[in-house]
Amino acid sequence: MKIQRASGVLLHPTSLPGKYGIGELGEEAYNFVDFLSKSKQKLWQILPLNYPGYGNSPYNPISAFAGNPLLINLEKLISEHYLSAKDLSNFPQFNDQKVEFEKVIEFKSNLLKKAFANFKTSKSQKHTIKFEEFCSENSYWLDDLALFTALRDYYNKVSWNRWDKGIILRKRDAIDRWRNRLAEEISFHKFVQYKFYQQWSELKYYAESKEIKIIGDIPIYVSFDSADVWIHRDLFFLDEVGNPTVVAGAPPDYFTETGQLWGNPTYNWEKMEENDYDWWQKRIKHLFTMVDYARIDHFIGFVRYWAVPYGEKTAINGKWRKGPGEEFFSIMKKKIGELPIIVEDLGVVTPDVIELKNKFGFPGLRLLQFSFRENDTPPHKFEENCVAYTGIHDQDTILGWFKHIKKYEKKIYKNVIDYLNYDGRNICWEMIKLAYSTPSKWAIIPLQDLLCVDSDARMNTPGTAEGNWGWRYKKEMLTSEIAGKLAEITARFNR
């Protein structure tokens, strides 16, 4: 993929400000696009928009296709007369800097159900036709997803392999019986996806009008408790009762001494190969209807992946298994066409990973927080065909990282001081300027680093299951001063 010199900001929509406990696809999302435009940015990178599963992680989705219902903007539903102003007049007091997921889920679920009830009684032919068109165009994933989520609600969120046997095995008579029994609930979940995709499409169109391109994200795995695993059991390594035999993770590395135990079921790549990885084709095509570029998470997993026996408490006892490699991307390119993809090539990068990346011209990632360690590539030697970051969602903020190395990693701290010729200035902006000055065609900064906030604003701490994905910024934090400063740096480094 050929890319032009540009820069942008990494921010997941859940982190947007707003009254209702979580970022939404409403006014504040449009304001953020305006901020990007004013600061001369060309890229907005997001985390996966997928419907999150356990732990509220967008990298552990219950569907590779469904959008996150919590992002639906409630005030737009008022303008469509699906909710009234009174419905939103007495909302709970939410934390404005952390998403309280359980509280938000209960609040928004009730209002979305009310909106659906009003949609049904509105008798608007125009809206009904649009809804039916959406359902028809997306039936290849939406029909099963809606049944899955309706069943998941019915069974009080227990995993699909603990449901009644007939529906676990997707027996035709059981499928028909449950579709009839849960028809109303199935229609509700289709409506929720309809509103999500409608609102996302409108926001993306606005970003296009401001000449902002959106970089999406493809989590390499899906949750075990997902529609995809329930529907396509043969595409994953599961035993006869539906439990995984091995699960995904990453070996011990810089992030954690015991590795990362993600717990997702791993793919049966040989089985997928039989129909040219059709599930992946659909998944990638679907994402490119929503975004302009895509970051492939854990690219190393396509060369080899760390498989951990099911039931292990850490990832230490995993083993490397072979991934689909070149054949996979050759088929994707043949079936889909040009692949506007950047790849997350972090971790244990062996020559075969580099060879695969280079063969298809995929830009990789380079992180400033790693560039001051011994034997790592210094920023001025970053390759052109890559994306430079101050950090990503799995890392500490620059301010938190800088405080940490000052206290605990004196050698790295000295390398930073010497490299920057640092004299006590704002470390965040010094690192932002450094990222923009690199040879890398793209430079992307997490919003946390633009705001220069501390460790409590990090998005995720690998190896932990609680307290992640919740950070939000306050509206007043995104100032015109920051926009002007970023615009000046962008112009200075020709981005």
The residues annotated with a catalytic role in the active site are 297, 344, 394
- Write the burial class of residue 317 (CB in 10 Å: 0-12 exposed, 13-18 middle, 19+ buried): exposed
Please, what's the b/e burial string for 89-117 (b: 16 or more CB within 10 A of its CB; e: otherwise)? eeeeebeebbbebeebbebbeebbeebbe
In sequence order, the 6+-apart residues with CB closer than 8 A to the CB of 374 are 411
d(CA 119, CA 28): 25
User: d(Cα 127, Cα 120) in Å, to the nearest integer?
Assistant: 10
- Please report, in angstroms and rounded to a whole number, the separation of the first and last CA atoms in the chain: 18
Segments in 233-377 forming alpha helices (H): 269-273, 278-287, 325-336, 351-359
Cα angle 226, 229, 234; round to 5: 175
Backbone angles phi, psi at 325, to 5 degrees: 60, -140
CA distance 404 to 455: 10
In angstroms, the CA 171 to CA 81 distance is 40
Distance CA 181, CA 338 (A): 44
**Phi, psi (rounded to 5 degrees) for 80:** -95, 0
CB atoms within 10 A of CB 368: 26
Kindly report the number of other CB atoms within 10 A of residue 382's CB atom: 22
